[in-house]
Amino acid sequence: MVGRKVILKIDKGMAHPGRVALEVRNLVVRDDRGVVRVNGVSFVLKEGEILGVAGVAGNGQSELLEALAGIRPLSGGEILVDGEPLPPAKHNPHAERLIGIGHVPEDRHRVGLVMPFEACESAMLGFHYETVYGKGVLYDRKAIIADAGRKMEAFDVRPRAPLLKTANFSGGNQQKLVLAREIERNPKIMLVGQPTRGVDIGAIEFIHKRIVAQRDAGKALLLVSVELDEILALSDRIIVLCGGRITGERLAEDTNAQDLGLLMAGVDERAA
Amino acid sequence: MSSPLKPLPAWADVALIPLINVAAAFVISGFVVLAIGENPLEAVQILITGALGDLEGIGFTLYYATSFIFTGLAVAICFHAGLFNIGVEGQAYLAGLGAALAALYLGFLPGYSLVVVAIAAAALFGAAFAAIPGYLQAKRDSHIVITTIMFNYIASALMGYLLVDVLRVPGQMNAETPGFSKYAAVPQFHELLAPLGIQWPVTPFNLSFLLALAAALAVWLLIWRTRLGYEIRTVGANATAAIYGGISPARITIITTLLSGALAGGLAVNVILGQEHRLILEFTGGFGFVGIAVALMGRAHPVGIILAAILFGVLYQGGDELAFDKPKISRDMIVVIQGLVVLFAGALEHMFRRPVAVLLARRTTQPPI
Amino acid sequence: MELFDTFIQIFGSGIRLGVPLILACLAGLWSERSGVVDIGLEGKMLTGAFAGAAFATLTGSAWIGLLAGVAATVVASLIHGYASIDQRANQIVSGTAINMVADGLTALIGNAIWSQGGRTPQLPDTALFNAITLPFAESFGPVPIVGSIYRHLISGHDIVTYAAFALVPLTYWALYRTRFGLRLRAVGENPAAVDTAGISVRGLRYGAVIICGVLVGLSGVYLSLAQAAFFQPHMSAGKGFIALAALVFAKWRPWPALATCLLFGFLDALATRLQGVELPAIGAIPVQAIQSLPYILTVVLLAGFIGKAIPPRASGIPYVKER
């Protein structure tokens, strides 16, 4: 259908994990109604690796991601970036972007993009204060449109129409726009949620390749996905969340769907 | 009823549908006029000649339009942030207090700097009065619609007390302050044009009109060409995405309501500093609410707002003439038209999409003969 | 004893001032519980008041006035309902439009017919809802305390007042003890679930909007046919908005709504009573301070100093059927 063979298994080289970029200790996070969703989670994320977070939807992955990105407050535990605890004053999306933490949210419609905006405006979200868009008080429209054009070119977003409303792009192109925006800033840590949900096959391949490329460039990537195939294909190391706790940690090459499936259900055969 | 909005060509979206909405409001108003026993077409004729028939009418029309530009901008800027500021009436009223206090007690300031300070005071007082509901919405989640409505009544009571008991000229019957000095006056156009040899009839039309146009330009630049404007629009379009983007909806709510209150002050500048030259009771005359209709009709865009404001200026000036000629069609008719505009341009704005889409489709799919 | 009599007087006034609030508050309750936000209570109250007074003046009958008032208000409610339910409009804008149109139209028509600046002529007692003396009120009167309460507070109200009080337990029963009420509450919290169960979300919401219209129509009719004896432009003076605030305070429940509205009525009466009275330290309270007390209190209430109020979950959100 696409005209060439589509690779679902990523051609991915060995990971060369470096030092610890992000560490999470005993994290406790509550949802909007005060119910504990992340119940004492601890793990490390190293540079140059993709850490996959597997689990059935609703077991705390979303809240974990939001808490790490600074959107949701912590009810306990701490986050350490480069070994330093993240102070509450810096636990918000803006400060985290400045530190170098990028976030591709799980829901591009409700969170990652602004549907009524032009694509070039959605492409600024989170970085709209940067001087590349205008040095004085006023924005430089030409610069904004040019920047969006560059992003669209680099990430093959179609159509190449920076003035088109974000809502009028297909799911895959919208997602590529989000990725373009977050990756272009060169963050050292990336939090990625459901990157290929609702995305067409061709775009999935493209997005997966870019994620691996980021890893190979030495970035630390946290990948949350409910697609087990995606987790297994992309991750170097996998942790499984069930009921807000980590039920197991595996190296990608040491595990498979059955093993992960059991962990997702709360059973750890190897622990016995 | 649950089908998605039919896509229409851009020109239909931006121009045709809004025009149809406004037309619907006027057609229904026409039926109301008919129902109370008058001829709508005759009424329209009296209205238009009263508003645009001579220079005096035009002067009054533009004077009213100036007020509506300010209140329309005030409501519109809040719309962009997803807020409904119904309190422009009260904010403008308090702004008048600011202007009056400056004019009456800062007379020691040199020359015409007094009027500049008075204008600033009006903006300041308007902003401060808007800040409370804004703060309550931002930090305590108090619905800004209800709080601003309450604050309108509070403003009325407060200003009534001040004008009757505190600021009134001693011994006078009317509840109003002493007159302001000429240095606290915004010059009227007929005064400015007279030395140039141009004979313009005496109307309240004053330089605030230029201030209003400048404000419209400033609002346009702010909303679409600055970082703050981007943040305002993002919060209004999608607060969750705004948070994700590092924008604080609470902060934006407060800033936007402050700006809105300041713009509402323009109404006080136009009426109090431009025409009355003293603080009087209820000078806002419901113009804060007209701002809602103007903002909706103008689709919260400064250009649309200016056009809508002029239209309502025509309605108010023409309406005055009409009420004089036909006592049965009182000033309240204009409020009815205003309400219908809010209904069709605001609430029922998509009602005509389907029929229009069908009409357009039929035209384009006509087989060639 | 004099203090007690004063209290009775104030309580009595409080009830009279609270009745329109109770009815409007219940109206808002029915609407909002089904998910339709109603800012237009003020305008609808005016509509009911005007139509009631107009028809009572024209026919000489208070009951026809009541029917007319309720009918007119239901029409206004249906317009808001159509905009909110079928056109999926912004419900606040729609309510605001209703307020504006009602404000202007009532004054306009009133002036066109009677040429008194929008006021309707004074109505004779025969065309009003008058005080009803309950049995034995006169004879119980002299009985200390209880008799006085019976004679002045419980007896002596008009039929609309008694209806208002009866409507509270009726609303409670209908909302919490009938199938219709359960479905209606469900529609306000999770319309998708109700839809999936095969029940018409649209039908329930229209039903709620009609009930709202009837109740707020009654509150308007009370204003012009029981409290005053005529209609005057803007005579609702913000009562529709205060009723809305009371609804929030009562957290959308019938019995707390009754209590809140009576409280507001009582405070209003108390304030009027204190008008001009010299208090020991402060001196005479300005009239305007008294007048603005209900509005200030509403803001204090909404500022959440008296607990957090969570509206029905689907409140204000138009329902779109999933494809």
d(CA C58, CA A258): 82
B292 to chain C, any CB pair closer than 8 A? The answer is yes
CB neighbourhood size of C196 (10 A): 10
CATH number for the domain spanning C16: value is: 1.10.3470
Bridge-partner residues for A44, per DSSP? A23
Select the residue from B244, B247, B251, B252 to test the A interface by mutation, using most A Cβ atoms within 10 A. Answer: B244
| Pairwise CB contact (< 8 Å): A126 & B246 | yes
Estimate the share of chain B in helix, then strand, then coil, as percent rounded to the nearest 5: 75, 0, 25
Would you say residue A153 has pLDDT above 90?
yes
Are the beta carbons of C152 and C133 closer than 8 angstroms? no
> pLDDT tens digits, residue range B302-355?
999 999 999 999 999 999 999 889 888 888 999 999 999 999 998 888 888 888
Chain C, window 220-259: residues with a beta carbon less than 8 angstroms from a chain B beta carbon: 233, 238, 241, 244-245, 248
Structure tokens that stand for C150 in this block: 């019976």
Instruction: Please give the C-alpha separations between residue C15 and each of A115, C137, C170, C263, in angstroms, as whole numbers.
Output: 51, 18, 19, 9
Q: Is residue A74 part of a domain?
A: yes
CB neighbourhood size of A9 (10 A): 9
Chains B and C touch (3+ CB pairs under 8 A): yes
Number of structural domains, chain C? 1
Q: Is the predicted ipTM greater than 0.85, yes or no?
A: yes
Structure tokens that stand for B71 in this block: 């209140």
d(CA B252, CA B248): 6
B363 to chain A, any CB pair closer than 8 A? The answer is no
Chain A contact partners (≥3 CB pairs within 8 A): B
- CA torsion sign for B21, B22, B26, B32 is positive
d(CA A206, CA A209): 5
Chain C residues near residue B146 by CB distance under 8 angstroms: 241, 244-245, 248, 298, 302
Mean pLDDT value across chain B: 91
CATH number for the domain spanning B276: value is: 1.10.3470
Q: Is residue A207 part of a domain?
A: no
- pLDDT tens string, chain C, 323 residues long: the values are 677 888 888 888 999 999 999 999 999 999 999 999 999 999 999 999 999 999 999 998 999 999 999 999 999 999 999 999 999 889 999 999 999 999 999 999 999 898 888 888 888 888 888 887 777 777 767 777 777 777 777 877 888 999 999 999 999 999 999 999 999 999 999 999 999 999 999 999 999 999 999 999 999 999 999 999 899 999 998 899 989 888 888 889 999 999 999 988 988 888 788 777 776 766 677 777 877 877 888 888 888 776 666 778 788 888 887 65
Chain B residues near residue C86 by CB distance under 8 angstroms: 1
Is residue C227 classed as helix, strand or coil in its secondary structure? helix
d(CA A51, CA A68): 14
Number of structural domains, chain B? 1
Phi then psi dihedrals of residue B100, to 5 deg:
-65, -45
> pLDDT tens digits, residue range B219-236?
999 999 999 999 999 999
Structure tokens that stand for C323 in this block: 């494809």
B45 to chain C, any CB pair closer than 8 A? The answer is no
Query: What does B177-210 look like in DSSP terms, one character per residue?
Result: PPPPPGGG-PPBHHHHHGGGT------S-BTHHH
CA angle B261, B265, B269 (to 5 degrees): 175
Q: Is residue A184 part of a domain?
A: no
Query: What does A77-122 look like in DSSP terms, one character per residue?
Result: EEEEETTEE--GGG-SHHHHHHHTEEEE-S-IIIII--TTSBHHHH
Most confident of A202-216, B257-271, C254-268: B257-271
A19 to chain B, any CB pair closer than 8 A? The answer is no
Could you list the residue range(s) of the whole structural domain that residue C75 is in?
A: 2-305
Q: Is residue C173 part of a domain?
A: yes
pLDDT band per the 50, 70, 90 thresholds, residue A15? confident
| Contacts of residue C295, Cβ cutoff 8 Å, sequence gap at least 6 | B150, B151, B153, B154, B157, C238, C242
CA angle B52, B57, B61 (to 5 degrees): 80
Would you say residue A8 has pLDDT above 60?
no
Gap from B74 CA to chain A (nearest CA, Å): 21
Closest CA to C55 of C18, C109, C103: C109
Q: Is residue C61 part of a domain?
A: yes
Could you list the residue range(s) of the whole structural domain that residue B155 is in?
A: 15-357
Q: Is residue C120 part of a domain?
A: yes
Q: Is residue B328 part of a domain?
A: yes
Among all residues of chain A, which has the CA nearest to that of B238?
Answer: A114
CATH number for the domain spanning A19: value is: 3.40.50.300
CB neighbourhood size of C165 (10 A): 18
Question: Looking at the partner chain, which of B221, B230, B240 has a beta carbon nearest the beta carbon of A110?
Answer: B240
User: What is the model's pLDDT at position C154?
Assistant: 80
Q: Is residue C94 part of a domain?
A: yes
Listed as own residue / partner, the contacts of B117-123 with beta carbons closer than 8 Å and 24 or more positions apart are: B118/B184, B118/B269, B118/B273, B119/B186, B119/B211, B119/B265, B119/B269, B119/B273, B122/B95, B122/B96, B122/B98, B122/B265, B122/B266, B122/B268, B122/B269, B122/B272, B122/B273, B123/B95, B123/B98, B123/B261, B123/B262, B123/B263, B123/B265, B123/B266
Q: Is residue A178 part of a domain?
A: no
Select the residue from B238, B248, B252, B299 to test the A interface by mutation, using most A Cβ atoms within 10 A. Answer: B238
Number of structural domains, chain A? 1
Select the residue from C241, C288, C319, C321 to test the B interface by mutation, using most B Cβ atoms within 10 A. Answer: C288
User: What is the model's pLDDT at position B4?
Assistant: 52
| Contacts of residue B109, Cβ cutoff 8 Å, sequence gap at least 6 | B117, B183
d(CA A19, CA C31): 59
Q: Is residue A260 part of a domain?
A: yes
> pLDDT tens digits, residue range A25-77?
999 999 998 999 999 999 999 999 999 999 999 999 999 999 999 999 999 99
Looking at per-residue pLDDT, the higher value among B229 and B360 belongs to B229
Is residue C160 classed as helix, strand or coil in its secondary structure? helix
Using CB atoms within 10 A of its CB, is residue C74 exposed (0-12), middle (13-18) or buried (19+)?
buried
Could you list the residue range(s) of the whole structural domain that residue A242 is in?
A: 10-97+220-272
Looking at per-residue pLDDT, the higher value among B207 and C144 belongs to B207
Closest CA to A38 of A70, A69, A74, A71: A74
Q: Is residue B1 part of a domain?
A: no
B188 to chain C, any CB pair closer than 8 A? The answer is no
- CA torsion sign for C19, C25, C27, C29 is negative
Question: Looking at the partner chain, which of B221, B227, B234 has a beta carbon nearest the beta carbon of A125?
Answer: B234
| Pairwise CB contact (< 8 Å): A111 & B240 | yes
> Looking at A237-241, B10-14, C216-220, which range is the least confident one?
B10-14
A164 to chain B, any CB pair closer than 8 A? The answer is no
- CA torsion sign for B360, B362, B363, B367 is positive
> pLDDT tens digits, residue range B114-132?
999 999 999 999 999 999 9
Are the beta carbons of C95 and B292 closer than 8 angstroms? no
| Pairwise CB contact (< 8 Å): C97 & B340 | yes
Structure tokens that stand for B269 in this block: 């500048």
